[in-house]
């Protein structure tokens, strides 16, 4: 299998869109050619632990309501044109995502990382849940590994906090400034939400190279 390392943040809309495109390209294949691993990259590493009101945060980030419309217009257009479920109006809080990244890290150990990443995207972009709320995270993760109380105990500890922040720092040292970032076969860096057709071509190239 080919290594596919994905740097992402579960509150990044383009990361969500990019995952949908990749999964659509892999649908119907007899075998997934990729060994996928998700890596942390916080869009807002200095976000307060309790997050911020999303409307106020976005207006501050993009210079007012007109800036928000300009920034999110292409995202809304893409989700509608490509039939990607997204209900952005439900999102009320822009959270600190360090705990969400800890959940993703633990899910890799448990062998359910892709499922957890999908659940986090759905929770935020479809259901508008606060991914900074450890109760939300524990309930979501308990569908796939451990029980809710055990996950809550981990989240209220410092377990793997330093690990996540160090990995985030390493990603920035590698030159990653925006996500999603896909690293194929430890050699090729692909930035942005690439189309389903792009990934289908990559899969064909892999299949041809081993046939």
Rounded Cα distance, 78 and 74, in Å = 6
pLDDT of residue 28: 83
- Give pLDDT, residue 16: 98
The position carrying tokens 């409307």 is 55
Residue 181 to residue 190: CA distance in whole angstroms? 6
Q: What is the pLDDT of residue 53?
A: 98
Query: For residue 211, what pLDDT is reported?
Result: 60
Q: Considering the entire predicted model, what is its pTM?
A: 0.96
Task: Please confirm whether the linkage preceding 64 is cis (ω < 30° from 0).
Answer: no
CB-neighbour burial class of residue 132 (10 A; exposed 0-12, middle 13-18, buried 19+)? buried
Per-residue pLDDT of the chain in tens (211 residues, 90 and over written 9) = 899 999 999 999 999 999 999 999 999 898 899 999 999 999 999 999 999 999 999 999 999 999 999 999 999 999 999 999 999 999 999 999 999 999 999 999 999 999 999 999 999 999 999 999 999 999 999 999 999 999 999 999 999 999 999 999 999 999 999 999 999 999 999 999 999 999 999 999 888 887 6
């Amino acid at each position: 299998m080919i290594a596919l390392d994905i740097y992402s943040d579960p509150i990044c809309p383009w990361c969500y869109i990019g995952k949908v495109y990749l999964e659509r390209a892999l649908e119907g294949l007899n075998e997934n050619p990729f060994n996928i691993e998700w890596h942390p990259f916080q869009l807002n590493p200095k976000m307060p632990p309790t997050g911020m009101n999303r409307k106020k945060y976005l207006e501050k980030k993009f210079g007012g309501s007109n800036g928000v419309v300009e920034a999110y217009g292409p995202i809304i257009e893409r989700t509608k044109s490509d039939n990607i479920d997204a209900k952005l109006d439900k999102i009320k809080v822009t959270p600190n995502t360090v705990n969400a990244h800890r959940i993703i890290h633990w899910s890799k150990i448990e062998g359910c990382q892709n499922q957890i990443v999908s659940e986090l995207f759905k929770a935020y972009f479809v259901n508008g849940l606060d991914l900074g709320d450890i109760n939300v995270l524990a309930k979501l993760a308990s569908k796939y590994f451990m029980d809710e109380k055990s996950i809550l105990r981990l989240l209220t500890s410092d377990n793997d906090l330093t690990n996540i922040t160090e990995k985030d720092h390493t990603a920035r040292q590698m030159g990653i400034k925006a996500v999603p970032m896909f690293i194929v076969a430890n050699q090729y860096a692909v930035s942005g939400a690439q189309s389903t057709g792009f990934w289908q071509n990559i899969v064909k190239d892999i299949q041809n190279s081993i046939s």
